[in-house]
Chain A
Amino acid sequence: MNFDFSEDQRQLRDTARRALVPFAGAAREALEGGPGSELGGLGSGMWSLAGEMGWLGAAIPERFGGVGLGRLELCVLAEEFGRILAPIPFSSTVYAFAETLMACADEATQAHWLAQVAAGKAIGCLAASEGAGTVSPGRIEAALRGGKLYGSKTPVADGDSAHAAIVLAKDESGGLRLVLVALSQAGVSRKVLETLDPTRGHAELSFDGAAATPLGAPGSGWGEYERACDRVAALLAFEQLGGAQACLDMAVGYAKSRYAFGRPIGSFQAIKHKLADMYVAIEVARSNAYYGAWALEQGGRELAQAAAAARVAASEAFTLAAKENVQTHGGMGFTWAADCHMFMRRAKLLAVQIGAPGVWREKLVRALEQSNQG
């Protein structure tokens, strides 16, 4: 047993961290509507960097133009993106779109889209939610009829900038199916949504007879969607972890330098214990995330349980770290100018993106029940 990333993977992390240094302000620019804001930060150059460095195609096979590394490498990158609140559609394109295509699209579809993703030419997204409430099979109204898609999806993460979407829809038999839709066609309209976190794009996508290609077998849609979510959860947990760690680092730094009552605030136990609680939550999240990463790489039966645990722990840690980071900064933490609120925004965004914490706790217990039954 070896429960850590390899030397190569740690090198990848260091390389990524260094390469991202010039982009430390990208999320802020996106927030302020500066040069990095159009298309969710693509303009800042971070997206092209991700393409040039081979990060977009890290887990895409070489025959499709990728680098052919594994999911563990994606986990390493995710943590680095999370740390700097990267304002780019990496998670939608890579964890959701490309990974789902690799799991259930045919060879030709994969060849076309994966090559585009790896080259940084295509942004993808996953569209399931149709409005308020938890996504569940009975609530899906989007429908595929005669190869055309009808209905609407909202909110769709990165739906504003995506070139293609994987959509959860009913097919003619009434069963669910994932379908692939190119978004630059007549029959697709988008409405950009304002969300809690302006540094990441969201849209409502409406389909009125858009050409759509079914993925996977008829009736497989819900199962494929849940497995897609498990993979996204395992990877997103690392983004959340990176964000949480960044909050703790900020809070510790501030607690050492800010003085009150003639001493650094970090020498007050109320602050110390708060930061220790953040550390404990982050370590719990990190351990669960590592197991999720391993299960993802293995691609076996453990994934559902491991991904759910990773996600529950990561959402908890990031939410806690983000809010207590504000508290540690006092009045300064409540300003627009301090970055604290950007982490609060992102923490919540990521916590609900593929299902809120309560949904994942329930999934986790279901997985536990299943593993108990053998």
Chain B
Amino acid sequence: MDFNDTPEEAAFRTQAQAFLAATCSPKAARKSAERPARMEEAQASYLARAKAYQAKKADAGFAGLTWAPEHGGRGLAPIFSVIFGQEEARFDAPGAPFTIGLGMCLPTVIAFGAQPHKERYVRPALRGEEIWCQLFSEPAAGSDVAGIKTRAVRDGDNWRVSGQKVWTSGAHYSDFGLLLARTDPGAHKHKGLTMFFLDMRSKGVEARPIHQASGESEFNEVFFDDVVIPDAQRLGDIGQGWSVALVTLMNERLAVGGSPGPDYQDMMAFAAGALAADGKTSLLADSAFRQSLADWYVSAEGYKLGRFRTMTALSRGQAPGPEASIGKILNANRLQEITSAAIDAQDHYGVVMGQSAASDLFLRSYLWAPGLRIAGGTDEILKNIIAERVLGLPADPRADKGIAFKDLPTGA
């Protein structure tokens, strides 16, 4: 057991620091607060900044660290991504628009795409020139994503796609999308699926941003009206879409679930400058507050250190297991607790916007936190996964077994 960097890791860390210092400005607030800070900035200017940074990052060899060199990566062990992430967190380094593409879509293209596709799409994605989105969820199929209805019908060398996706993050500014579609409604629901990718500017694709509970509009409904997709853009075999989707979702567990809002450090800093309920002593001296602070720290460390354990397991050649689902449960719930506690701590005045940057950070994150418990698998679904795949408990009894997809009850 050793927490210190190996000489190789230390050298890499120094290179990363040098690159970041030369490329980005150091950040006063922490990276974990990136998301709420981003809400302040116009989307177009944020995107432009993010693309410019991503290009420099790729050119300097810090993008796709764990990808094979033939895909523009460096073939490094996962721990190097963690080290780069730790250093990047100290800087104003905008990376959010690429999380889904680089974390989930491109690994799927690399795993199932043909050689010319990899040559064509991987590099531009790594450089941030092309952004990808994930077109899985639909109005009637989120948790039960194998229940999607968007139809793809074979037409010579092409497929014709009609239907609707929803909650698609970044679809309105994405160049490409990874699309799960139903190719055989007569088959059982998991059997009739096929995976494609498509140009988001194809004729018949329309992305309409959805106004979110948090105020901004980042996710979309996406409509497909007789969209033509060449068969060459199919990933995996016809009817094998579910196995392909599982690869995407497995990568999702490593890509999402970080701590994207204020954490215990922000809460500590905030409490040092706030008063306890008696109006005299510092909130940081309040014993009830300190008890909660300890629990938030333990949870945050539990996530961070758990990730190190996952990295160690990966470096031994073990696959990322569903254990990684824990991270999102911990972080999303902690974010909800922390933001709620910060508002409560200010009593009547806690709800007033515009008092201070710190207080606004908590208010905005309070509104954004509920989304984190839903996106990328709800708490309930993640607990089912832990129970069934880690603990080996029996599956839920299913009402959809042995029935053709088209005959399933929908409640509609």
Contact = CB atoms under 8 A, between A and B. Distances in A.
Interface in A338-371: 358, 360-362, 364-365, 368-369
B218 interface: no
Contacts of B297: 309, 364-365, 368
A313 B326 contact: no
Interface stretch (B156-164, B232-240, B392-400): B392-400
30 contacts: A1-B5, A1-B79, A3-B1, A4-B1, A4-B313, A6-B1, A72-B1, A248-B391, A255-B393, A256-B392, A263-B397, A269-B380, A273-B383, A279-B326, A279-B386, A279-B391, A283-B306, A287-B305, A287-B306, A288-B301, A291-B305, A294-B1, A294-B2, A294-B3, A360-B294, A365-B293, A365-B297, A368-B293, A368-B297, A369-B284
A361 B295 contact: yes
Given A263-B397, A280-B329, A280-B386, A3 B311 contact: yes
B9 interface: yes
A234 interface: no
Interface in B284-300: 284, 287, 290-291, 293-295, 297-299
A284 B1 contact: no
Contacts of A288: 298, 301-302, 305
A252 interface: yes
A12 to B, nearest CB: 13
B348 to A, nearest CB: 27
What are the 3 tightest A-B residue pairs by CB atom distance, in nearest-first order?
A284-B302, A361-B294, A272-B387
Contact of A266 (B268, B315, B394): B394
Interface string A1-15: 111111000000000
Interface string A275-288: 11101100111111
Contacts of B383: 269, 272-273, 276-277
Contact of B397 (A248, A267, A290, A358): A267
B115 interface: no
B312 A3 contact: yes
A277 B386 CA distance: 9
Interface in B48-74: none
A290 B380 CA distance: 28
A273 B305 contact: no
A173 interface: no
Interface residues of B, number: 50
Given A272-B384, A364-B294, A1 B4 contact: yes
Contacts of B309: 3-4, 286-287, 290
Contacts of B388: 272
Interface residues of A, number: 49
B157 to A, nearest CB: 46
Interface in B232-273: 268
Nearest to A284: B302
Given A286-B309, A287-B309, A365-B293, 16 more contacts: A1-B2, A1-B6, A2-B315, A72-B1, A263-B394, A267-B396, A276-B382, A276-B384, A276-B386, A287-B303, A288-B298, A288-B302, A312-B298, A364-B294, A365-B290, A368-B293
B323 A283 contact: yes
Interface string B356-400: 000000000000000000000000101110111011111111000
B308 interface: yes
B273 to A, nearest CB: 14
B397 A372 contact: no
A284 B330 contact: yes
Contacts of B315: 2
Contacts of B313: 4
Contacts of B291: 358, 361-362
Interface in A271-311: 271-273, 275-277, 279-280, 283-288, 290-291, 293-294, 297, 308-309
Interface of B: 1-6, 9, 79, 268, 284, 287, 290-291, 293-295, 297-299, 301-306, 308-309, 311-313, 315, 323, 326, 329-330, 380, 382-384, 386-388, 390-397
A272 B392 CA distance: 10
A264 interface: yes
Contacts of B4: 1
Contacts of B287: 362
Interface in A248-274: 248, 252, 255-256, 263-264, 266-267, 269, 271-273
Contact of B302 (A1, A2, A283, A293): A283
Contacts of B306: 283-284, 286-287
A256 B311 CA distance: 31
Nearest to B82: A1
A283 B383 CA distance: 14
Nearest to B291: A361
B341 to A, nearest CB: 14
B6 to A, nearest CB: 7
B387 A287 contact: no
B290 to A, nearest CB: 4
B173 to A, nearest CB: 35
Given A1-B9, A309-B298, A312-B298, A252 B392 contact: yes
Contacts of A285: 302
Contact of B330 (A5, A267, A280, A369): A280
A288 B168 CA distance: 36
Contacts of B304: 287
B302 A313 contact: yes
A5 B313 CA distance: 11
Contacts of B397: 263, 267
A361 B394 contact: no
A308 B294 CA distance: 9
Contacts of A275: 387, 391, 393
Contacts of B308: 1, 3, 287
Nearest to A364: B294
B121 to A, nearest CB: 33
